Structure 1
Amino acid sequence: MNEIAPDNYQSFLKDIKERIISAQYEALRAVNKKLASVVREISWTKNIVIIRTSIIACSYRSLNY
């Protein structure tokens, strides 16, 4: 394993921390993007169900029993 010179240790440590923070931020953005997509899909599906239910209810109301 390569040893890190004491004078380079601080910059090495800073680089590692920045890479970890960058990876965390990237992961956070990916998760948020996926969650937003799921929320839109659920909302769209819910609206379709409401619309179809309304159409069916209206069609049954027009029938005279």
Structure 2
Amino acid sequence: MKNNIKELRKSAKLSQEELAKLCRVSRQTINAIENDKYDPTLQLAFDIAFILDTTVDKLFISDPIKK
């Protein structure tokens, strides 16, 4: 699932390490999420959204369902 976390994090002037500490996860986890290698848990998605002052639906770009 694509996301806007990197752009929003940079706008907030946070490093991956800083965001990771605020979310209580590793920097590698934030890196993997930003690079579409890992989908966060729902709780982590809400935590990231709260820290970046946005909503979960604005963090992630859903791929439309293909029939």
**Normalized against structure 1, the TM-score is what?**
0.19
Structure (1 or 2) with the greater helix fraction: 1
**Normalized against structure 2, the TM-score is what?**
0.18
Larger Cα-atom Rg:
1
Structure (1 or 2) with the greater strand fraction: 2
